[in-house]
Each structure stands twice: as C-alpha cells, then as structure tokens.
Amino acid sequence: MQLIEVISQLESLPEDTFICVRRPWQRESDALLVSYPADLRIPADVVSQGFEYFLEVPTAKEALEVFVQEPTLEQMTDLVLFYAEHDAFPDWVYGV
C-alpha cells in the first residue's frame, strides 16, 4: 500500500494504529499499518523490512483538521508528510 492510499482511507482506520512508511517519505512511498503493540514499539519485523514510524492514525486525522476548505487527496497527503517531518504545518495550508 502507498502512503497516499492510507491517507485516502484515514477516516475508516482504527484509532489504535501506527502508520509506518519507508523512506524517502513521499506520496507513493510504501506504507504499512500496525496495530499498537502492548509496549507501543514498532515491531522488529516491521523495522527489518525498512519501515519507520510515521504517525499515529489519530494524529494524522488531527493534522488534517487545519484545512478550512475541502482539500484534494494530494493536498491532504502533502500536509501529513510535512507534519510528520517537521511537527508543524506548512504555510500554504492556510490558503486551502
């Protein structure tokens, strides 16, 4: 699954899920959904496949609440990418 596909399904994903993504983080990057393990660590087998913690589903959903108007899927994905990298919102988001 690609990151953009995860973002397109975000509203229907379980809240107790990590989004893990392979670098470089881009819209088309490979993504994997991981249910929260008891120790809240990304499982070793996921890491060994080259996936890294990206965001938790609830955090990604919260980040998307910043949009004033209805964004495109690409804008949503770009916002989540920026937020995951910088823990901040891009300036362009306020004009959408």
What is the per-residue pLDDT across 5-42, written as a single tens digit (0 to 9) for each? 999 999 999 999 999 999 999 999 999 999 998 898 99
Mean pLDDT of 58-84: 95
Query: Quick check: is 94 in a domain?
Result: no
Residue 7 forms part of a structural domain:
yes
Return the pLDDT at 48: 98
Instruction: Examine residue 58 and say whether the peptide bond preceding it is cis (omega within 30 degrees of 0).
Output: no
Residue 78 lies in a domain: yes
Q: Is residue 25 part of a domain?
A: yes
3-state helix, strand, coil split of the chain in percent (to 5) is 45, 20, 40
Domain, as residue range, for 70: 3-86
User: Does residue 9 belong to any structural domain of this protein?
Assistant: yes
**pLDDT surpasses 90 at 76:** yes
What does the pLDDT read at residue 96? 62
Q: Do the domain assignments include residue 93? A: no
Say yes or no to pLDDT of 88 above 90.
Answer: yes
Q: Residue 6: what pLDDT?
A: 98
Domain-embedded: residue 45: yes
Number of domains in the chain: 1
